Amino acid sequence: PVVKYLADYKAPTHKIETVDLEFHLDDTQTQVFSKMKITPVNGNTLELNGEELKLKSVKVNGEEFSNYKEENEILTLTGLPSEAFTLEIHNEINPKANTALDGLYKSGGMFCSQNEPEGFRRITYFIDRPDNLSVFTTKIIADKKDYPFLLSNGNLIESGDLEDGKHFAVWNDPFAKPAYLYALVAGDLAVIEDTFKTKSGRDVKLQVFVDKGNEEKSHHAMESLKKSMKWDEKRFRLEYDLDIYMIVAVDSFNMGAMENKGLNIFNSAYVLASKETAEDRNFFGIESVVGHEYFHNWTGNRVTCRDWFQLTLKEGLTVFRDQEFSADLNSRSVCRINDVRNLKAAQFPEDAGPQSHPIQPKSYIEMNNFYTMTIYEKGAEVIRMYHTLLGEEGFQRGMDKYFELYDGQAVTTADFTHAMSVANDNYDFSQFRRWYDQAGTPVLDITTKYDEAAKEFTLTVNQSTPATPGQPTKEPFHMPFLLGLLDSAGNDMTLALKNRDDQNDLDRGLLHIKADTETFVFANVNERPVASLNRNFSAPVVLRSDLTDEDFVFLMANDNDDFNRYEAGQALALKNIHAMLKDENHQVDELFIKAWGSILNDNNIDEEFKAVCLSLPSMIDVAATIDIPNYRAIHEAKDKLFKLLANTYKLELASIYNDLSTERPFKVDAKAMGERKLRGFVLACLSTVEEHKELARECFKYATNMTDMMNSLSVMVNENLPGCQESLKEFYDKFKDQTLVMQKWLSVQASSCDDTTFDKVQELMKDEVFDMNVPNLVSALIGSFARNKVQFNHESGRGMKFIAEMIRKVDAINPQSASRLAGAFNDYRKMPADLKEIAKAELTAIVESDKTSKNVYEKLSKTLN
């Protein structure tokens, strides 16, 4: 396979100014007519991308043209005019055979498209790169009965009936855009409508299209859209620019959703929700993804990427924006904690494994492999660091400058940095830019010293970043490090640095870490302080410090930074789990048990924050610091600790559970969701206590919403509790026709650490609700098993052999879906020798097979390297 390099970037030789597309939709023989107005920029040879297309004819300036050849998915036209010309191409595609779901395909009974990053070349021949911005006009012709709705980007300018039961619609998008933002939908759908008045007084028509019968489940998405539009006006002063905004929900979709200009296409999982069918996390996820796609209208669409190496330019920034949106609308502390939990659970391992890459990668084989946690979530952390360095006002000045300089253009991450800098007195980001180029999670080793006589507190910070593939050594990063020093009453002391000039950010507790080793000496420190380090996780790093258990207990109770209250509890829990792994007779620290109980009994903290603070570190958090983790042992240690805590506090837990079980109206707000979250957590605790083993079944039977239902079902499945099998059956009978709910049912069973799970998964694959062609279902059943660390790493090797077989099978259908499964082997280098040998044989066979897609090839060849 061909490797593409950032260093090889060359500007396009031609610009497609406008393109008029005409589609004659047909399941297997869709005709595509494209008429392009092209301006030459450099030379008279034009290369157009095209994959899986049947070329029918080519005309230049209205005349048949034969000076072309088609090779390696490139159509090369030579001897073209050196002045502006028209190019007309007619080609045929087969949407029904398109199981890769890339380009134009059929999902259920409808036609829909996915063109980012390189799907448009599977529709017609084009300069399919994000720095070619064209004005698109689309005419769609299709059967009127089967496809009453014909949609594309922009404004509807004409529609009408044709012969033979057909009809047509013409759409024009006035904003020049790259082909990846192009969309087409045709189907027999239901629609809900609303309007939004923008701050300048324009009415925007809002439409959410769903399968008939799902109208009632689409209101939360519509409300989320209106909240997003309002929020972006208020916080970023950005207004929507077309007169219509459409969202279409489809069941078969590779991504979560796609920000096509004016016509977002969504995985139905991020549109449909009712209290009976969706969990609170789904309601939250819908709000955040609807926001994310909407925010792309400015960060992604109006200002887009020059090339795909710049993906984090739009994704890191837009994730940061959607995180802030969620934080402004919900509990800011809990949102931050959950974002960091997510980062540590998925991005840190990615950055420590074979797929590690900088947020701006330098090469790729298959771009689809780079829609990663690193580009998105670490990218968002990098944007958050600009925000921390510059403050909200400075950051917003930078954003204004970014749009002022680059609206309507395809730019680079360096352009973003430039805007942030010039808007802030030429702020020096030169060292900060290393975050774009160096992979790996930096480690901060921190030591502290208090000199009582001198009343000085010294903090020494040592930074290092582990080697990652292709990057054996690293230069130090510039990172913003928020800190507080707490006195014995828990108050923040006033900070004064003795040995440094950079005092100006101290009033907000901001230190700049730049060198490999930094020493900060604080003066006038009248008592030994407890240091609250890296508040709000201001730098996305692994922190190791000499704080004592007593310090952590103090921070859990007193820190004025909610994130660090949570983090202190995690640090203590981790210490205990590690000790339990070393010595199975280890007595859990009384200090930790007491501190956990204090949080449980603290009536001054809200329910959701309490639930996250009481949660134990994930298995991945524990494994991160172990060379060769034994996941079964980690699972057992965590389980033992959880049971100990639950049994110690069973009376308090039961009382909280009862309080939270009183009848209350169902609401989707932070308070109500927090209460359900804590109730679910407490239920999980109590279910490990002998006298409460029946509680989960009770909760399931009387549940009136999906959150309570899934909380109780997963406890029953994980703990193999009484009533588990009946509950699974009842659930199935009730929801078997609703694929999104069945995805939960499949996932909960495939995630159980129990040894019966392997056979169960084989059986579930034969169930009629499962379909290997639908990515959500593959992820729910096979993906959940692949992420089930205990069962994937089963001592016999059966778990990984099964996943290898599934990668091969799914790859033949949908390479993107298969490539995601391949991520299960990212732990390859950390496997025990016998499992590693099994994995090696399986992966080598896949990599060497000529049937393997480049998606899977790229992932697994890196894994083996």
Beta strand pairing call for 443-451 and 542-545: parallel
- Hey, which residues does 77 pair with through a beta bridge? 46, 68
Q: Quick one: what does residue 255 bind among Zn ion, ligand BAL, none, with the CB cut-off 5 to 8 Å set by partner type?
A: ligand BAL
Part in contact with Zn ion (CB under 5 A); list of ranges 307-315, 343-351, 696-704, 837-845: 307-315
366 touches ligand BAL by CB under 6 A:
no
Tokens read off for 40? 């030459």
Question: Binding-site residue total for Zn ion (CB under 5 A)?
Answer: 2
Q: For Zn ion, which is the closer residue by CB, 30 or 347? A: 347
CA separation for the pair 225, 309 (Å, rounded): 29
The beta-strand segments (E) located in 215-260 are 244-250, 257-258
Tokens read off for 330? 């919900």
CA separation for the pair 855, 865 (Å, rounded): 16
Least distance in Å: CB of 538 to ligand BAL? 25
Part in contact with ligand BAL (CB under 6 A); list of ranges 253-261, 449-457, 564-572, 726-734: 253-261
Least distance in Å: CB of 214 to ligand BAL? 22
707: Cα within 13 Å, side-chain hemisphere: 22
Least distance in Å: CB of 300 to ligand BAL? 7
DSSP 468: B
Q: For ligand BAL, which is the closer residue by CB, 295 or 592? A: 295
Part in contact with ligand BAL (CB under 6 A); list of ranges 251-259, 327-335, 630-638, 812-820: 251-259
Quick note: the x/- pattern for ligand BAL over 211-250, rule CB under 6 A, is: ----------------------------------------
Interface with ligand BAL (CB under 6 A), residue from 247, 258, 382, 533: 258
Least distance in Å: CB of 778 to ligand BAL? 19
DSSP 508: G
Q: Quick one: what does residue 567 bind among ligand BAL, Zn ion, none, with the CB cut-off 5 to 8 Å set by partner type?
A: none
Catalytic, 193? Answer no
Reduce the secondary structure of 262-324 to three states and give it as a string. CEEEEEHHHCCCCCCCCCHHHHHHHHHHHHHHHHCCCECCCEEECCHHHHHHHHHHHHHHHHH
CA distances from 21 to 54, 116, 134, 163, 739 (A): 16, 18, 12, 20, 34
Q: For Zn ion, which is the closer residue by CB, 311 or 699? A: 311
367 touches ligand BAL by CB under 6 A:
no
Least distance in Å: CB of 371 to ligand BAL? 7
Least distance in Å: CB of 448 to Zn ion? 40
Least distance in Å: CB of 292 to Zn ion? 5
Part in contact with ligand BAL (CB under 6 A); list of ranges 292-300, 482-490, 528-536, 715-723: 292-300
Interface with ligand BAL (CB under 6 A), residue from 116, 366, 381, 415: 116
Least distance in Å: CB of 138 to ligand BAL? 20
Least distance in Å: CB of 318 to Zn ion? 5
Least distance in Å: CB of 420 to ligand BAL? 22
269 touches ligand BAL by CB under 6 A:
no
CA distances from 106 to 22, 25, 645 (A): 18, 11, 51
497 touches ligand BAL by CB under 6 A:
no
Tokens read off for 402? 């970014």
Least distance in Å: CB of 744 to Zn ion? 24
Quick note: the x/- pattern for ligand BAL over 313-352, rule CB under 6 A, is: --x-------------------------------------
The beta-strand segments (E) located in 363-489 are 363-364, 410-411, 443-451, 456-464, 479-482, 484-486
Least distance in Å: CB of 321 to ligand BAL? 11
CA distances from 656 to 308, 602, 647, 659 (A): 51, 11, 14, 5
Q: Quick one: what does residue 279 bind among Zn ion, ligand BAL, none, with the CB cut-off 5 to 8 Å set by partner type?
A: none
DSSP 64: E
Q: For ligand BAL, which is the closer residue by CB, 318 or 564? A: 318
Q: For Zn ion, which is the closer residue by CB, 115 or 172? A: 115
Residue at 865: amino acid letter: N
Tokens read off for 295? 């925010």
CA separation for the pair 24, 142 (Å, rounded): 6
Interface with ligand BAL (CB under 6 A), residue from 51, 259, 307, 415: 259
CA distances from 392 to 262, 417, 424, 427, 722 (A): 29, 16, 12, 15, 53
Rg (alpha carbons) of the chain, rounded to whole number:
28
CB of 167 within 8 A of CB of 146? Answer: no
838: Cα within 13 Å, side-chain hemisphere: 19
Could you write out the DSSP letters of every residue in 721-765? -TTHHHHHHHHHHHHTT-HHHHHHHHHHHHT--STTHHHHHHHHT
Q: For ligand BAL, which is the closer residue by CB, 315 or 381? A: 315
293 touches ligand BAL by CB under 6 A:
yes
20 touches ligand BAL by CB under 6 A:
no
Q: For ligand BAL, which is the closer residue by CB, 236 or 802? A: 236
Least distance in Å: CB of 560 to ligand BAL? 35
CA distances from 132 to 13, 136, 286, 299, 366 (A): 10, 12, 31, 17, 20
128 touches ligand BAL by CB under 6 A:
no
Q: For Zn ion, which is the closer residue by CB, 309 or 631? A: 309
- Hey, which residues does 511 pair with through a beta bridge? 481
287 touches ligand BAL by CB under 6 A:
no
Q: For ligand BAL, which is the closer residue by CB, 291 or 617? A: 291
Q: Closest by alpha carbon to 438, among 320, 354, 353, 351?
A: 351
Helix/strand number for the chain, H first, E second: 29, 32
518 touches ligand BAL by CB under 6 A:
no
Q: For Zn ion, which is the closer residue by CB, 318 or 718? A: 318
CA dihedral 357, 359, 364, 369 (to 10 degrees): 90
Rounded to whole angstroms, the maximal C-alpha distance in the chain is 95
Part in contact with Zn ion (CB under 5 A); list of ranges 11-19, 127-135, 316-324, 548-556: 316-324
Question: Binding-site residue total for ligand BAL (CB under 6 A)?
Answer: 9
Quick note: the x/- pattern for ligand BAL over 687-716, rule CB under 6 A, is: ------------------------------
DSSP 769: T
102 touches ligand BAL by CB under 6 A:
no
CB of 149 within 8 A of CB of 167? Answer: no
Q: Which residues in the 317-356 window bind Zn ion by CB under 5 A?
A: 318
Q: For Zn ion, which is the closer residue by CB, 316 or 674? A: 316
Q: For Zn ion, which is the closer residue by CB, 317 or 619? A: 317
CA separation for the pair 519, 499 (Å, rounded): 8
Q: Quick one: what does residue 116 bind among ligand BAL, Zn ion, none, with the CB cut-off 5 to 8 Å set by partner type?
A: ligand BAL
378 touches ligand BAL by CB under 6 A:
no
292 touches ligand BAL by CB under 6 A:
yes
Question: Buried (b) or exposed (e) across 4-31, using 16+ Cβ within 10 A?
Answer: beeeeeeeeebbbeebbbbbbbbeeebb
Q: Given 51, 279, 293, 607, which residue is catalytic?
A: 293
Q: Closest by alpha carbon to 95, among 46, 31, 159?
A: 31
307 touches ligand BAL by CB under 6 A:
no
Interface with ligand BAL (CB under 6 A), residue from 156, 255, 405, 557: 255
Q: Is 29 helix (H, G, I), strand (E, B) or coil?
A: coil
Give the footprint of Zn ion on this chain (CB under 5 A). 315, 318
Give the footprint of ligand BAL on this chain (CB under 6 A). 116, 255, 257-259, 292-293, 296, 315
Active-site residue list? 293
